[in-house]
Amino acid sequence: MNKFDRVISTLVLLQTKRVIKAQTISERFDISTLKNAGIPIIGDPGIGYSIMDGYRMAPIMFNEGEATALLTAEKIIGKMTDQDTQAYFSSAMMKIKAILRSAEKQSLAILDDSIVISNTKNEESKAQLQDLFKSISAKQILNIEYKKADGSISNRNLESIGCYHQFNHWYLVAFCQLKNDYRTFKLNRIQNLKLLDQFFDKSHISLQDYIDQQQESWKEAQQFHAIEIVFSNDYVKFAESRKYYFGFVEQSVEPDGIHMKFLNSSLEVVARWLMQFGDQATVITPVILKERLRTLATQMFEHYK
């Protein structure tokens, strides 16, 4: 990146956040260059830098790669979010397209019909997303009626931390005032949602730290089994496509086939996966997995004899 592009990138970065720490800006002289150009920058290296309120830079032209990335995001947002969010993003995209050069506009017009995000089965209602986002940004207390796994309904007041999308579902992470602890709520179980005229100023754990802690807790609770399997050379290609799903660790090439090692908490899941390989996969360890395969094979024989 040349000096001009780097300085412009620094200016854009300053306009996207209230305060930027000095270490975030790799080249200190970028700040001096911007100050010399008359940009009203305040702050110092020990605290951070920001642009004086009210200053706005004239629109910057997007390059083709940036415009294409935004178009792709528009397609994804159209499938994964609610109608309000889709409408806001489409409106923003129209403004972006308006300042593009003719060549970029033509490229986007072609790509618009050439990028498709397939529909996926998703029965959840996403109509509450904008209210959820507002509750997070404004620190506004949220009241929900939540359908628990047993079918009962509970009423909760929440201090929202963040939302994430995983396995085709949206989740809300919040501090639950009823339980006095952090909880994860599946969006399709929220029956009613209301923003209260109440706000909170309490500092909470970040969304990413919460997710990391949950993952670590899950890992510690699991009892992983060390598994060794030999796949025949002719059938190993079928194992290759799914090995990471079953906790693949490493493999080696041996005269009798491909030796693979796995760590997995469910021997039952692994056993049923191996059934499709018949005699083309041989379990070395553990013995209990061999015994489970023998039982499953006998049950299948009895089922079809």
Q: What is the DSSP string of 71-139?
A: HHHHHHHHHHS-HHHHHHHHHHHHHHHHTS-HHHHHHHHHHHTT---------S--TTHHHHHHHHHTT
Q: Which fold does the domain 129-219 belong to in CATH?
A: SH3 type barrels. (2.30.30)
Min mean pLDDT across 80-84, 240-244, 296-300 is at: 80-84
Backbone phi and psi for residue 177, each to the nearest 5 degrees, phi listed first: -70, -30
**Preceding amide of 59 cis, omega within 30:** no
Q: Is pLDDT larger for residue 193 or for residue 82?
A: 193
For the ranges 4-18, 147-161, 229-243, 244-258, the lowest mean pLDDT is seen at: 4-18
pLDDT for 95 beyond 90: no
User: Residues 257-291: pLDDT tens digits?
Assistant: 999 999 999 999 999 999 999 999 999 999 999 99
CATH of domain 225-304: 3.30.70.240
Report the alpha-carbon distance of residue 79 to residue 284 in Å, rounded. 45
- pTM for this model (two decimals): 0.57
Tell me the per-residue pLDDT of 186-204, one tens digit each, with 9 for 90 and over.
998 999 999 999 999 999 9
Quick: pLDDT tens for 199-244.
999 999 999 999 999 988 888 888 899 999 999 999 999 999 899 9
Q: Give the pLDDT confidence of 24-72 residue by residue, as tens digits.
A: 655 444 677 777 767 777 776 666 777 777 666 555 566 767 777 878 8
Q: How far apart are CA 41 and CA 51, in angstroms?
A: 5
Which pLDDT score is estimated for 88? 85
Residue 158 backbone phi and psi in degrees, to 5 = -125, 145
Mean pLDDT for the chain overall? 83
* E-state strands within 135-200: 140-147, 153-166, 169-176, 181-186, 190-199
Name the residue with tokens 């061999």: 290
Say what the pLDDT of residue 61 is: 61
pLDDT at position 123: 47
Q: How far apart are CA 176 and CA 184, in angstroms?
A: 9
Q: What DSSP character marks residue 256?
A: T
* Domain residue limits, the chain: 3-51, 64-112, 129-219, 225-304
